[in-house]
Protein backbone atom coordinates (compact mmCIF):
# COMPACT_ATOMS: atom_id res chain seq x y z
CA UNK A 1 0.00 0.00 0.00
CA UNK A 2 1.32 3.48 -0.81
CA UNK A 3 2.60 5.32 2.28
CA UNK A 4 0.23 8.21 1.71
CA UNK A 5 -2.81 5.94 1.97
CA UNK A 6 -2.11 4.57 5.45
CA UNK A 7 -4.81 5.66 7.85
CA UNK A 8 -3.29 7.28 10.92
CA UNK A 9 -4.38 6.08 14.37
CA UNK A 10 -2.59 8.93 16.12
CA UNK A 11 -4.87 11.30 17.95
CA UNK A 12 -4.55 14.83 16.58
CA UNK A 13 -5.01 17.76 18.91
CA UNK A 14 -6.56 20.78 17.25
CA UNK A 15 -4.50 23.96 17.32
CA UNK A 16 -6.12 26.96 18.96
CA UNK A 17 -7.60 29.40 16.46
CA UNK A 18 -5.40 32.27 15.26
CA UNK A 19 -6.79 35.66 16.24
CA UNK A 20 -6.99 38.69 13.97
CA UNK A 21 -4.47 40.42 16.22
CA UNK A 22 -1.96 37.58 15.70
CA UNK A 23 -2.47 37.66 11.95
CA UNK A 24 -1.73 41.38 11.89
CA UNK A 25 1.41 40.81 13.96
CA UNK A 26 2.64 38.30 11.36
CA UNK A 27 1.95 40.57 8.38
CA UNK A 28 5.01 41.57 6.35
CA UNK A 29 5.88 45.23 6.49
CA UNK A 30 6.82 46.32 2.96
CA UNK A 31 7.21 49.71 1.32
CA UNK A 32 8.21 49.54 -2.38
CA UNK A 33 11.76 50.72 -2.98
CA UNK A 34 12.39 51.66 0.68
CA UNK A 35 14.74 49.88 3.06
CA UNK A 36 15.54 50.50 6.71
CA UNK A 37 18.55 52.76 7.20
CA UNK A 38 21.07 51.54 9.77
CA UNK A 39 21.99 54.18 12.34
CA UNK A 40 25.71 54.58 13.09
CA UNK A 41 26.64 56.28 16.35
CA UNK A 42 29.99 57.34 17.79
CA UNK A 43 30.81 53.76 18.73
CA UNK A 44 30.98 52.67 15.08
CA UNK A 45 32.86 49.37 14.99
CA UNK A 46 35.12 50.34 12.10
CA UNK A 47 35.99 53.90 13.05
CA UNK A 48 39.72 53.13 12.57
CA UNK A 49 39.03 51.98 8.99
CA UNK A 50 37.25 55.14 7.92
CA UNK A 51 39.07 57.05 5.16
CA UNK A 52 42.01 59.41 5.42
CA UNK A 53 44.23 60.98 2.77
CA UNK A 54 47.78 61.20 4.17
CA UNK A 55 49.81 64.04 2.69
CA UNK A 56 52.99 62.09 2.00
CA UNK A 57 55.18 61.47 -1.03
CA UNK A 58 56.08 57.98 -2.18
CA UNK A 59 58.73 56.96 -4.74
CA UNK A 60 57.80 55.33 -8.03
CA UNK A 61 56.96 51.65 -7.81
CA UNK A 62 59.77 49.28 -8.69
CA UNK A 63 59.27 46.02 -10.53
CA UNK A 64 58.96 43.05 -8.19
CA UNK A 65 59.11 39.30 -8.90
CA UNK A 66 55.70 37.69 -9.34
CA UNK A 67 54.89 33.98 -9.19
CA UNK A 68 51.22 33.23 -9.75
CA UNK A 69 50.01 30.89 -7.03
CA UNK A 70 47.13 29.83 -9.27
CA UNK A 71 49.58 27.67 -11.21
CA UNK A 72 49.91 25.51 -8.09
CA UNK A 73 46.17 25.06 -7.63
CA UNK A 74 44.36 21.77 -8.08
CA UNK A 75 42.37 21.64 -11.36
CA UNK A 76 39.30 20.43 -9.46
CA UNK A 77 39.84 22.78 -6.47
CA UNK A 78 39.56 19.78 -4.13
CA UNK A 79 41.46 21.49 -1.29
CA UNK A 80 39.49 24.74 -1.31
CA UNK A 81 36.13 23.02 -1.70
CA UNK A 82 36.73 20.28 0.88
CA UNK A 83 34.67 22.26 3.41
CA UNK A 84 32.30 23.96 0.97
CA UNK A 85 28.57 23.41 1.45
CA UNK A 86 27.49 24.87 -1.90
CA UNK A 87 29.14 26.14 -5.08
CA UNK A 88 27.34 27.65 -8.05
CA UNK A 89 28.13 29.79 -11.08
CA UNK A 90 26.32 33.01 -11.89
CA UNK A 91 26.52 32.31 -15.62
CA UNK A 92 28.80 30.32 -17.96
CA UNK A 93 31.25 33.20 -18.48
CA UNK A 94 31.86 34.80 -15.09
CA UNK A 95 31.04 34.70 -11.40
CA UNK A 96 30.96 31.88 -8.83
CA UNK A 97 29.61 31.87 -5.28
CA UNK A 98 31.08 29.55 -2.64
CA UNK A 99 29.42 28.78 0.71
CA UNK A 100 30.97 27.14 3.76
CA UNK A 101 34.56 28.36 3.26
CA UNK A 102 36.20 30.61 5.87
CA UNK A 103 38.70 32.88 4.09
CA UNK A 104 40.43 33.73 7.36
CA UNK A 105 41.55 30.16 7.92
CA UNK A 106 42.83 28.81 4.59
CA UNK A 107 45.89 26.60 4.22
CA UNK A 108 48.43 27.43 1.52
CA UNK A 109 47.15 24.69 -0.76
CA UNK A 110 43.62 26.05 -0.36
CA UNK A 111 44.89 29.53 -1.24
CA UNK A 112 46.46 28.08 -4.39
CA UNK A 113 43.11 26.55 -5.35
CA UNK A 114 41.42 29.88 -4.64
CA UNK A 115 43.78 31.70 -7.00
CA UNK A 116 43.17 29.12 -9.71
CA UNK A 117 39.39 29.37 -9.32
CA UNK A 118 39.50 33.17 -9.52
CA UNK A 119 41.76 33.04 -12.58
CA UNK A 120 39.23 30.82 -14.36
CA UNK A 121 35.94 32.34 -13.17
CA UNK A 122 37.03 36.00 -12.97
CA UNK A 123 35.26 36.80 -9.68
CA UNK A 124 34.32 34.55 -6.74
CA UNK A 125 31.96 35.56 -3.92
CA UNK A 126 32.01 34.52 -0.27
CA UNK A 127 29.18 35.43 2.10
CA UNK A 128 29.34 36.36 5.79
CA UNK A 129 33.13 36.43 6.28
CA UNK A 130 32.99 37.85 9.82
CA UNK A 131 36.34 36.32 10.74
CA UNK A 132 38.23 38.04 7.92
CA UNK A 133 39.67 41.00 9.83
CA UNK A 134 41.68 43.62 7.97
CA UNK A 135 44.83 41.91 9.27
CA UNK A 136 43.67 38.56 7.89
CA UNK A 137 42.63 40.18 4.60
CA UNK A 138 46.08 41.72 4.18
CA UNK A 139 47.77 38.44 5.13
CA UNK A 140 45.75 36.61 2.49
CA UNK A 141 46.58 39.24 -0.12
CA UNK A 142 50.28 39.09 0.71
CA UNK A 143 50.30 35.37 0.00
CA UNK A 144 49.55 36.15 -3.64
CA UNK A 145 52.10 38.94 -4.09
CA UNK A 146 53.40 42.36 -3.02
CA UNK A 147 50.51 44.54 -1.89
CA UNK A 148 49.74 47.64 -3.92
CA UNK A 149 49.44 51.05 -2.26
CA UNK A 150 47.18 53.45 -4.16
CA UNK A 151 48.58 56.88 -4.99
CA UNK A 152 45.39 58.90 -4.61
CA UNK A 153 42.47 57.10 -2.98
CA UNK A 154 41.73 56.84 0.73
CA UNK A 155 43.49 54.50 3.14
CA UNK A 156 42.37 53.71 6.70
CA UNK A 157 42.73 56.15 9.58
CA UNK A 158 44.74 53.53 11.43
CA UNK A 159 48.46 53.95 10.72
CA UNK A 160 50.31 51.15 8.96
CA UNK A 161 47.50 50.21 6.57
CA UNK A 162 48.54 52.37 3.64
CA UNK A 163 48.26 49.36 1.32
CA UNK A 164 44.52 49.11 2.06
CA UNK A 165 42.10 51.04 -0.14
CA UNK A 166 38.99 52.39 1.58
CA UNK A 167 35.66 52.73 -0.22
CA UNK A 168 33.41 55.02 1.80
CA UNK A 169 30.20 56.83 1.01
CA UNK A 170 28.54 58.18 4.10
CA UNK A 171 25.97 60.61 5.24
CA UNK A 172 26.25 63.82 3.23
CA UNK A 173 28.59 62.40 0.58
CA UNK A 174 28.04 64.05 -2.82
CA UNK A 175 26.47 62.13 -5.68
CA UNK A 176 29.12 62.14 -8.40
CA UNK A 177 27.20 60.36 -11.15
CA UNK A 178 26.81 63.50 -13.25
CA UNK A 179 30.61 63.70 -13.65
CA UNK A 180 30.90 60.40 -15.55
CA UNK A 181 29.27 58.54 -18.39
CA UNK A 182 28.01 55.05 -17.43
CA UNK A 183 30.62 53.33 -19.61
CA UNK A 184 33.45 55.37 -18.08
CA UNK A 185 32.67 53.99 -14.63
CA UNK A 186 33.70 50.51 -15.84
CA UNK A 187 37.36 49.99 -14.99
CA UNK A 188 40.11 47.62 -14.01
CA UNK A 189 42.10 48.96 -11.06
CA UNK A 190 45.25 51.02 -11.68
CA UNK A 191 46.05 49.50 -15.08
CA UNK A 192 48.49 52.36 -15.64
CA UNK A 193 50.95 50.63 -13.29
CA UNK A 194 53.80 48.68 -14.88
CA UNK A 195 52.55 45.65 -12.91
CA UNK A 196 48.78 46.10 -12.55
CA UNK A 197 47.09 44.01 -9.83
CA UNK A 198 45.91 40.42 -10.04
CA UNK A 199 44.01 38.91 -7.09
CA UNK A 200 41.89 41.59 -5.43
CA UNK A 201 39.58 41.27 -2.42
CA UNK A 202 36.86 43.67 -1.32
CA UNK A 203 34.98 43.25 1.96
CA UNK A 204 31.89 45.28 2.82
CA UNK A 205 31.95 46.41 6.46
CA UNK A 206 28.71 48.38 6.38
CA UNK A 207 26.27 48.86 3.56
CA UNK A 208 22.71 49.00 2.38
CA UNK A 209 20.53 46.04 3.33
CA UNK A 210 19.35 43.66 0.65
CA UNK A 211 17.49 45.66 -1.96
CA UNK A 212 18.98 48.98 -0.85
CA UNK A 213 21.26 49.42 -3.86
CA UNK A 214 25.04 49.59 -4.07
CA UNK A 215 25.53 46.40 -6.11
CA UNK A 216 28.80 45.85 -7.97
CA UNK A 217 29.04 44.45 -11.50
CA UNK A 218 31.93 42.61 -13.12
CA UNK A 219 32.57 42.09 -16.84
CA UNK A 220 34.72 39.23 -18.19
CA UNK A 221 37.52 40.31 -20.50
CA UNK A 222 38.00 36.70 -21.60
CA UNK A 223 34.44 36.81 -22.89
CA UNK A 224 34.80 40.34 -24.26
CA UNK A 225 37.66 39.10 -26.45
CA UNK A 226 35.51 36.17 -27.61
CA UNK A 227 32.69 38.51 -28.63
CA UNK A 228 34.91 40.13 -31.26
CA UNK A 229 35.18 38.83 -34.82
CA UNK A 230 38.36 36.91 -35.69
CA UNK A 231 39.35 39.86 -37.90
CA UNK A 232 39.08 42.33 -35.02
CA UNK A 233 40.88 39.90 -32.70
CA UNK A 234 43.80 39.65 -35.11
CA UNK A 235 43.89 43.42 -35.54
CA UNK A 236 43.96 44.12 -31.80
CA UNK A 237 46.55 41.42 -31.06
CA UNK A 238 49.15 43.55 -32.81
CA UNK A 239 48.35 46.76 -30.91
CA UNK A 240 49.14 48.42 -27.61
CA UNK A 241 47.34 51.14 -25.66
CA UNK A 242 48.26 53.99 -23.35
CA UNK A 243 47.02 53.61 -19.77
CA UNK A 244 47.28 56.92 -17.93
CA UNK A 245 47.07 57.93 -14.26
CA UNK A 246 46.94 61.65 -15.11
CA UNK A 247 43.15 62.05 -15.04
CA UNK A 248 42.83 60.29 -11.70
CA UNK A 249 45.64 62.37 -10.20
CA UNK A 250 44.14 65.61 -11.46
CA UNK A 251 40.78 64.65 -10.01
CA UNK A 252 42.41 64.33 -6.59
CA UNK A 253 44.15 67.67 -6.95
CA UNK A 254 40.87 69.31 -7.91
CA UNK A 255 39.38 68.05 -4.64
CA UNK A 256 42.34 69.39 -2.68
CA UNK A 257 43.66 65.93 -1.92
CA UNK A 258 47.31 64.84 -2.10
CA UNK A 259 48.81 62.75 -4.88
CA UNK A 260 51.20 60.47 -3.07
CA UNK A 261 53.01 59.10 -6.13
CA UNK A 262 53.72 60.90 -9.39
CA UNK A 263 51.23 59.80 -12.09
CA UNK A 264 52.58 57.69 -14.92
CA UNK A 265 51.48 56.59 -18.38
CA UNK A 266 52.30 53.02 -19.40
CA UNK A 267 52.00 51.10 -22.66
CA UNK A 268 50.32 47.67 -22.40
CA UNK A 269 49.13 45.15 -25.01
CA UNK A 270 45.42 45.39 -25.80
CA UNK A 271 45.21 41.59 -25.78
CA UNK A 272 47.05 39.77 -23.00
CA UNK A 273 47.57 36.13 -22.03
CA UNK A 274 46.76 34.85 -18.56
CA UNK A 275 49.63 32.83 -17.02
CA UNK A 276 47.32 30.36 -15.22
CA UNK A 277 44.65 29.59 -17.83
CA UNK A 278 46.70 30.40 -20.93
CA UNK A 279 43.61 32.20 -22.28
CA UNK A 280 43.61 35.40 -24.25
CA UNK A 281 41.68 38.33 -22.86
CA UNK A 282 40.98 41.90 -23.73
CA UNK A 283 43.07 44.20 -21.52
CA UNK A 284 41.17 47.43 -21.81
CA UNK A 285 39.09 49.66 -19.61
CA UNK A 286 37.27 52.95 -20.17
CA UNK A 287 38.69 54.51 -17.02
CA UNK A 288 42.39 54.59 -17.89
CA UNK A 289 42.94 53.81 -21.59
CA UNK A 290 43.45 57.12 -23.42
CA UNK A 291 44.78 56.09 -26.83
CA UNK A 292 45.64 53.14 -29.03
CA UNK A 293 49.27 53.47 -30.06
CA UNK A 294 50.30 53.82 -33.70
CA UNK A 295 46.91 54.56 -35.31
CA UNK A 296 45.18 57.84 -36.20
CA UNK A 297 43.15 59.47 -33.45
CA UNK A 298 39.87 58.97 -35.33
CA UNK A 299 40.55 55.25 -35.60
CA UNK A 300 41.70 55.07 -31.99
CA UNK A 301 38.60 56.87 -30.71
CA UNK A 302 36.25 54.59 -32.63
CA UNK A 303 37.99 51.40 -31.49
CA UNK A 304 37.90 52.64 -27.88
CA UNK A 305 34.18 53.40 -28.28
CA UNK A 306 33.56 49.89 -29.66
CA UNK A 307 35.42 48.22 -26.80
CA UNK A 308 33.62 50.43 -24.26
CA UNK A 309 30.32 49.17 -25.64
CA UNK A 310 31.37 45.51 -25.56
CA UNK A 311 32.63 45.75 -21.96
CA UNK A 312 29.75 47.79 -20.56
CA UNK A 313 26.65 46.67 -22.45
CA UNK A 314 26.97 42.90 -22.93
CA UNK A 315 24.87 41.32 -20.16
CA UNK A 316 25.91 37.74 -20.95
CA UNK A 317 29.49 38.57 -19.88
CA UNK A 318 28.44 40.32 -16.65
CA UNK A 319 27.98 39.17 -13.06
CA UNK A 320 26.08 41.39 -10.62
CA UNK A 321 26.56 40.98 -6.87
CA UNK A 322 24.11 42.16 -4.22
CA UNK A 323 26.14 42.79 -1.09
CA UNK A 324 25.39 42.08 2.54
CA UNK A 325 27.53 43.04 5.51
CA UNK A 326 30.77 41.00 5.77
CA UNK A 327 30.48 39.64 2.22
CA UNK A 328 33.71 39.37 0.20
CA UNK A 329 34.28 39.50 -3.54
CA UNK A 330 37.62 38.15 -4.80
CA UNK A 331 38.43 38.89 -8.43
CA UNK A 332 41.28 38.84 -10.93
CA UNK A 333 41.96 42.40 -11.97
CA UNK A 334 43.79 41.20 -15.09
CA UNK A 335 40.72 39.70 -16.72
CA UNK A 336 37.80 41.62 -15.20
CA UNK A 337 36.41 45.11 -15.40
CA UNK A 338 34.02 46.20 -12.68
CA UNK A 339 31.62 49.03 -11.98
CA UNK A 340 29.94 50.24 -8.83
CA UNK A 341 26.27 51.15 -8.94
CA UNK A 342 24.74 54.19 -7.28
CA UNK A 343 21.25 54.79 -5.96
CA UNK A 344 21.86 53.56 -2.41
CA UNK A 345 21.47 56.88 -0.55
CA UNK A 346 20.86 57.53 2.32
CA UNK A 347 22.68 54.33 3.34
CA UNK A 348 26.31 54.28 4.39
CA UNK A 349 28.59 52.10 2.27
CA UNK A 350 32.00 51.19 3.71
CA UNK A 351 34.37 48.59 2.28
CA UNK A 352 38.09 47.79 2.30
CA UNK A 353 40.08 46.49 -0.64
CA UNK A 354 43.42 44.67 -0.79
CA UNK A 355 45.27 43.75 -4.00
CA UNK A 356 48.71 42.65 -5.09
CA UNK A 357 50.96 43.50 -8.01
CA UNK A 358 51.00 40.92 -10.81
CA UNK A 359 53.19 40.26 -13.81
CA UNK A 360 53.83 42.85 -16.48
CA UNK A 361 51.08 42.22 -19.07
CA UNK A 362 52.22 40.15 -22.04
CA UNK A 363 50.71 38.51 -25.11
CA UNK A 364 51.56 34.99 -26.27
CA UNK A 365 50.41 34.50 -29.87
CA UNK A 366 50.18 30.74 -29.26
CA UNK A 367 47.63 31.09 -26.45
CA UNK A 368 43.97 30.13 -26.91
CA UNK A 369 40.77 31.95 -26.23
CA UNK A 370 38.41 30.81 -23.47
CA UNK A 371 35.77 29.98 -26.07
CA UNK A 372 38.11 27.86 -28.19
CA UNK A 373 39.46 25.96 -25.18
CA UNK A 374 36.05 25.19 -23.64
CA UNK A 375 34.63 24.28 -27.04
CA UNK A 376 37.35 21.67 -27.51
CA UNK A 377 37.11 20.30 -23.98
CA UNK A 378 33.36 20.18 -23.47
CA UNK A 379 31.96 20.41 -26.99
CA UNK A 380 30.39 23.78 -26.17
CA UNK A 381 29.05 25.48 -29.33
CA UNK A 382 30.82 28.67 -30.33
CA UNK A 383 29.00 31.97 -30.71
CA UNK A 384 27.69 32.95 -34.13
CA UNK A 385 29.56 36.15 -34.97
CA UNK A 386 28.46 36.92 -38.52
CA UNK A 387 24.68 36.61 -38.17
CA UNK A 388 24.34 33.88 -40.78
CA UNK A 389 21.30 31.65 -40.49
CA UNK A 390 19.55 33.99 -38.06
CA UNK A 391 15.85 34.29 -38.84
CA UNK A 392 14.56 36.40 -35.94
CA UNK A 393 15.30 37.62 -32.45
CA UNK A 394 13.19 36.38 -29.58
CA UNK A 395 13.57 37.60 -26.01
One CATH from 3.40.50.170, 3.30.70.360, 3.40.309.10, 3.60.130.10 for 69-378: 3.60.130.10
- Which burial class, exposed, middle or buried, applies to 285 when counting CB atoms under 10 A from its CB (0-12, 13-18, 19+)? buried
Q: Are strands 155-156 and 271-273 parallel, antiparallel or unpaired?
A: unpaired
Q: What share of the chain is helix, strand, coil (3-state, %, to 5)?
A: 25, 20, 50
83 neighbors 98 (Cβ within 8 angstroms): no
Q: Is residue 361 a contact partner of residue 334, using CB atoms and an 8 Å limit? A: yes
Contact 228, 310 (CB under 8 A): yes
Please state, as a whole number, how many other Cβ atoms lie within 10 Å of the Cβ of residue 173: 12
Which segments in the chain show pLDDT lower than 70?
Answer: 1-26, 390-395
Q: What is the pLDDT of residue 4?
A: 35
Interatomic CA distance for residues 229 and 227, integer angstroms: 7
In sequence order, the 6+-apart residues with CB closer than 8 A to the CB of 196 are 188, 189, 190, 243, 268, 333, 334, 357, 358, 361
Closest CA to 87 of 112, 121, 129, 131: 121
List alpha helices for the chain, DSSP H: 20-26, 108-121, 134-144, 221-227, 230-237, 246-254, 297-312, 370-378
Query: Within 13 A of 340's CA, how many CA atoms are on the CB side?
Result: 19
pLDDT at residue 5 in the model = 32
- Please tell me the distance from the alpha carbon of residue 294 to that of residue 137, in angstroms, as a whole number: 41
**Measured distance CA(244)–CA(250) in Å, rounded:** 11
Q: How many CB atoms lie within 10 A of CB 299?
A: 11
Contact between residue 369 and residue 222 where contact means Cβ atoms under 8 Å apart: yes
Amino acid sequence: MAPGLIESTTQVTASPPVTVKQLKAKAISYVPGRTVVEKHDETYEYEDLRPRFPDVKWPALEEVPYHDKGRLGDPKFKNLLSSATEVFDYNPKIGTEVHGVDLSNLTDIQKNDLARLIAIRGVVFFRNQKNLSIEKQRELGQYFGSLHSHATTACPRREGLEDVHVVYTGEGSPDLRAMFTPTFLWHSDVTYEVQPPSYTSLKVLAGPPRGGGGDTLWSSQYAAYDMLSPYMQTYLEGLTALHSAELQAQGSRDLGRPVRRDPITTVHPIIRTHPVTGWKSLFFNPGFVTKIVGVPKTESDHIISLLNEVVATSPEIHARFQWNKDDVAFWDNRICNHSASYGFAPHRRHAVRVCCQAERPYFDPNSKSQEDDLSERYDVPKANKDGSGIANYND
